[in-house]
Chain A
């Protein structure tokens, strides 16, 4: 899967046109490389594969992933904090006939720009994604899926505020 993780890719640069904003992996990659160096300094016994895996696990979306963010932005707290954050259920699936609704537990203020980011993807049986999206939600019924449009081998995964839930067509797992 590419990308594996994400980082800020925007920088203020000076060019022939003066001061401007540029973006790209040229800016994001050194941040992750520096992060990896810090992790390795903290855990000098890590093999390259262990380092790679642990950085993926530290990312903010892990184990959710998509082809735009990978596992998200790596978090230093994963390595520095002894007490791992506990995640609480933030939404539930409600199935009514062939309609699957993602219903949020909390009351979301109906205001634009709150950054209540909800990620979802639809995955094939082999783990490859069919489609994925990122939505800024501000209502309790955040998403609806018409299950008639998917075959039985697909999996729907929704990630919202640190909580991941999967919908397999026969069962729901957390």
Chain B
């Protein structure tokens, strides 16, 4: 801003002769349109993920079979209604199997690096908020930690407890993939994932159990 300049001014494209310029602004040099923002071309935010493996009661204990994760999402705006993006998250899963008799605990623990690609359809009006949206996409996940934990209490002989624990399970697939669907409203996102791949390796033998393929849950977006 130039105040009280009493002189001959030669602005770009404008000749002002012997006038007092009280205010003069070149907007393009002051206001830069940012391509980064919640509904701009690029946006990155973190999210928290709570999930439940969803399946038959005789296979897993719903509620006790859950996952927790922290992830980062990149969103690329295509137009006013469509966006695409990728997620990268670290997910910790705790799979509880139903127990019978002396078997008191029977669990899998997994830690996976999950990555997915999605197409987002935005619904309705939104301003500087995320608004309502539906995402469909695919996910993959790489397992970097797995363990099994079994606890058996023998109350017939010496009341001893047998605990079986093993890490780095060789019969678990280290890569899994599937489909995902999400419905979101600002920070709150409900999701469901369907695992297409098998958890157990095809040549595995023994009494190992797969887990249900559906996961449902909620994600909390860490953004305004």
**How far in angstroms is the closest Cβ of chain A from B22?**
5
Choose the segment among B24-32, B57-65, B85-93, B119-127 that binds chain A (4+ C-beta atoms closer than 8 Å). B24-32
Assembly CA distance A112 to B19 (angstroms): 9
B23 CB-CB contact with A under 8 Å: yes
Contacts between chains A and B (CB distance < 8 A), count = 66
Count how many chain B residues have C-beta atoms less than 8 Å from C-beta atoms of the other chain.
19
Q: Indicate whether A128 reaches chain B with its CB closer than 8 angstroms.
A: yes
Cβ of A145 and Cβ of B13 under 8 Å apart?
yes
Partner of A137, one of B15, B19, B23, B26: B19
Residues of A within 8 A of B22 (CB): 117, 134-136
- Residue pair B13, A136 in contact (C-beta under 8 Å): no
Q: Indicate whether A131 sits within 8 Å of B25 (C-beta atoms), given known contacts A112-B6, A149-B12.
A: yes
Set of chain A residues within 8 Å of B6, measured between Cβ atoms: 112
A133 touches B28 (CB 8 A): no
What separation, in Å, do the CA atoms of A144 and B13 have in the docked complex? 8
B25 and A67 contacting across the interface, CB-CB below 8 Å: yes
Smallest Cβ distance from B219 to chain A, in angstroms? 34
Q: Which residues of B are at the interface with A, using a C-beta cutoff of 8 A?
A: 6, 12-28, 31
Q: Check if B13 sits within 8 Å of A132, measured CB to CB.
A: no
Which A residues are in CB contact (< 8 Å) with B16? Answer: 135, 143-144
Q: Is the CB of A128 within 8 A of B27?
A: yes
Bound complex: CA A36 to CA B102 (Å): 76
When distances are taken between beta carbons in the complex, the residues of chain B under 8 Å from A145 are: 13-14
The yes or no answer to A39 lying at the interface (CB within 8 A) is: no
How many residues of chain A have a CB within 8 Å of chain B?
26
CA gap between A130 and B23 in the complex, in Å = 14
A135, B15: Cβ atoms closer than 8 Å: no
List 10 A-B pairs, Cβ < 8 Å: A67-B27, A128-B27, A130-B28, A131-B28, A135-B21, A136-B19, A143-B15, A144-B14, A144-B15, A144-B17
What's the Cα separation between A152 and B16 when bound, in Å? 22
Q: How many angstroms from the CA of A141 to the CA of B19 in the assembled complex?
A: 10
A129 located at the interface, meaning its Cβ lies under 8 Å from any Cβ of chain B in the complex: yes
A137 to B21 CA separation, bound complex (whole angstroms): 8
Contact A146-B15, Cβ < 8 Å, known A112-B6, A130-B28: yes
A141 to B17, CA, bound (A): 8
Report B-chain residues with C-beta under 8 Å of the C-beta of A146.
13-15
